[in-house]
Amino acid sequence: MRKNSEDIKEFLKNIKLEIVIVIVYIVLYIIKNKCHLSELFNLQSYFTQDRLNGVATFFAITIATYIAVVTILATTEIGISKRMLEQRLDKPLINVIMFGVIENFIAVALSIFMPSSEVVYELIALFIILSLCSFVKFIILLITIFKVNMNEMAKSIDDKEKYENDLIGELKKISMYCKKNNENK
């Protein structure tokens, strides 16, 4: 039971920016309607069919990116895996990918399948913002993972070079010892 509560806390921690964006968006929507600013911010004229197709295409590509990264991380044991677990980057990455894919699916579905209405356009705008936010968080996590991986690779290369140098040093000592033994015979 405690593990589930920790997972929920971790999940909520990872999506707090999205929660704030939804709250701010709702407040701005209410202000827009109360002050009759709908004419100034007419999303129906902004979201033409070409733009909606572009939105759907862009987020379909980001979904493919999420899936590609998940597939790579899930099917390979890379040097970074241990460090990711140590630095607890695995759960934030999983949460960002999961939430990002859901947001992207909703943005694509709204853009393609929902009939045109003011509410649908408002939802499309909201999910575009949320999806872009999640994608930026995803890129930041990938950059962090890349940096950790580069550090691990550099450490591994240094360790290998040290091992090889130590081995060559020991082989030279053995060779010198063998030469001295042969000279003394």
Taking only the tens of pLDDT, the chain with its 185 residues reads 566 777 677 777 778 888 899 999 899 888 887 886 666 667 777 788 888 889 899 999 999 999 988 888 777 666 666 666 666 667 777 888 888 899 999 999 988 888 877 888 889 999 999 999 999 999 998 888 788 778 877 888 888 888 888 888 888 888 888 887 777 66
Nearest to 88 by CA among 155, 138, 141: 141
User: Can you give the pLDDT at residue 74?
Assistant: 74
Q: Extract the runs of DSSP E, i.e. beta strands, from the chain.
A: none
User: Can you give the pLDDT at residue 39?
Assistant: 65
Neighbours of 11 (CB within 10 A): 16
User: Can you give the pLDDT at residue 113?
Assistant: 86
User: Can you give the pLDDT at residue 95?
Assistant: 82
Contacts of 144 (CB under 8 A, 6+ apart): 89
First to last CA, the chain: 76
Residues 57 and 111: beta-carbon distance below 8 Å: no
